[in-house]
Amino acid sequence: MTTPPPSDDVPNDPAPSPAWAPPDATEPPALPSAPAPAPPLPAPAPRRTNRFAVIALVTGLLGLIPFAVGFVIAALVQTTRRDEKGKGLAIGGLAASLAWAAAVALALALLPLDTSGPSARKDGKVAVTDMRPGECFGEFEETATGMYARRSLCTTRHQGEVGAEGQLPDIPYPGEKEMTDRARTVCRERTEFLDRSRYGPDLTLYVAPPDQEAWADGKRVATCVMVYKGSGLLPAPLHQTMETTTRYTPELAPGDCIKKWDAHGDQPLIACTEEHEFEVLGVYTLQGDDYPGDERMEKGVLERCGKIFRKAWGAKPPADVLDSTDINFIAPDGTNWEAGERLVFCLIEGRHGPLKRSVVPH
């Protein structure tokens, strides 16, 4: 039997075995793994809008100009320091405030003077009865309908000054002549101290008593006007032209600041920017022939001084003064009454010690 020839489909050699490696051979080093991807950066926090900027815009749009300006300043400072949003809002509030201010100024410029009564005229002069003690004026004139002048700053050269107001008795209207005589007597008493001004010899007293209509409305005050008749004009308020630094008690006027009350009559005045015990709130004259007694005197004076207090500040007095229930006063006792003294002084004291500024409106 013959052996068939080998087929081309069958390999002559057995299947190859895996490659051999010597026993001390090491595996090839592993390749380092790829680094993990970096985490994404956090999104930046949104910038806050400054709250003062928002308030500045709102107050500006409402026309609350002093508040708006304050909030604008605070907003601009804080947005810069804190990197906050809101500068545009603050500037918008400032622009609105300026618009309001311009509108108010324009309205005042176009507003006609009230000519419905004798107190104001088209030429800008006002009745001296509308001025308060310490106000200065120029272009004074006396007419058949009253006395008129143009208001002026006392720090500029001026013609005169309202020296005082004199309280008149609460009686039926006595007629024009008697009213004028009573007013002149009261005003002479209230302004006599100005004779000691270095301009005193050239000061002339004019008296504006209330007319019958004003009397019927409850006005019981005479206006005491000092007009300078000398050469040139007055350079300063009259109280700054006095030759002494003290005043007799009857000479005191609202706004005078007293370092410490002197019971002997000379009151040491002091600049109101320095510490002082009292500031004069009001002065008025008592009427009547018989002394009312200590209890009635105190009750009546407290009531009257309280009215002056509320007239000055209403329900919101300065925070550094005592309220109307604790107001101090100087009034005549029985002995002083018999000696002819009738003046009452309403005095303001500090709530937390001596005052360091002027608090009385004048």
pLDDT in tens, the chain (362 residues): 445 555 555 455 555 555 555 555 555 555 566 666 666 656 555 678 888 778 878 888 888 888 878 887 887 888 787 778 878 887 887 888 888 888 887 776 555 444 334 456 788 899 999 999 989 999 999 988 889 999 999 989 999 999 988 888 888 999 999 999 999 999 988 888 888 788 889 999 999 999 888 899 888 899 999 999 998 899 889 887 876 566 667 778 888 888 888 776 677 777 787 888 999 999 999 988 899 999 999 999 999 999 999 998 888 888 888 888 888 999 999 998 988 888 999 999 998 889 988 888 86
Helix (H) or strand (E) holding 311: helix 294-313
Cβ neighbours of residue 125 closer than 8 Å, sequence gap 6 or more: 139, 141, 148, 149, 150
Measure the CA–CA gap between 204 and 219, rounded to whole angstroms. 24
CB 281 within 8 A of CB 254: yes
Gyration radius from the chain CA atoms: 44
Can you give the pLDDT at residue 241?
Answer: 81
Task: Compute φ and ψ for 300, nearest 5 degrees.
Answer: -65, -40
Can you give the pLDDT at residue 140?
Answer: 95
Can you give the pLDDT at residue 1?
Answer: 46
Can you give the pLDDT at residue 115?
Answer: 38
Tokens of 339: 């000696």
User: Helical H runs in 217-262?
Assistant: none
Cβ neighbours of residue 7 closer than 8 Å, sequence gap 6 or more: none
Tokens of 265: 């009559």
Measure the CA–CA gap between 181 and 191, rounded to whole angstroms. 15
CA atoms within 13 A on the CB side of 286: 26
CB 294 within 8 A of CB 333: yes
Phi-psi region of 17 (alpha: psi -120 to 50; beta: other; left: phi over 0): beta
At residue 264's C-alpha, the angle toward residues 258 and 270, to 5°, is 15
**How many other CB atoms sit within 10 Å of the CB of residue 347?**
20
Task: Compute φ and ψ for 132, nearest 5 degrees.
Answer: -110, 155
Can you give the pLDDT at residue 305?
Answer: 93
Task: Compute φ and ψ for 88, nearest 5 degrees.
Answer: -65, -40
CA atoms within 13 A on the CB side of 104: 9
CB 255 within 8 A of CB 362: yes
Burial class (CB in 10 A: 0-12, 13-18, 19+), 194: buried
Can you give the pLDDT at residue 162?
Answer: 94
CA distances from 304 to 63, 78, 214, 278, 329 (A): 38, 50, 20, 18, 10
Measure the CA–CA gap between 302 and 296, rounded to whole angstroms. 10
Q: Name the residue type at position 332.
A: P
Measure the CA–CA gap between 76 and 91, rounded to whole angstroms. 8
Can you give the pLDDT at residue 113?
Answer: 41
Task: Compute φ and ψ for 269, nearest 5 degrees.
Answer: -80, 155
**How many other CB atoms sit within 10 Å of the CB of residue 303?**
9
CB 108 within 8 A of CB 73: no
Tokens of 285: 């004259």
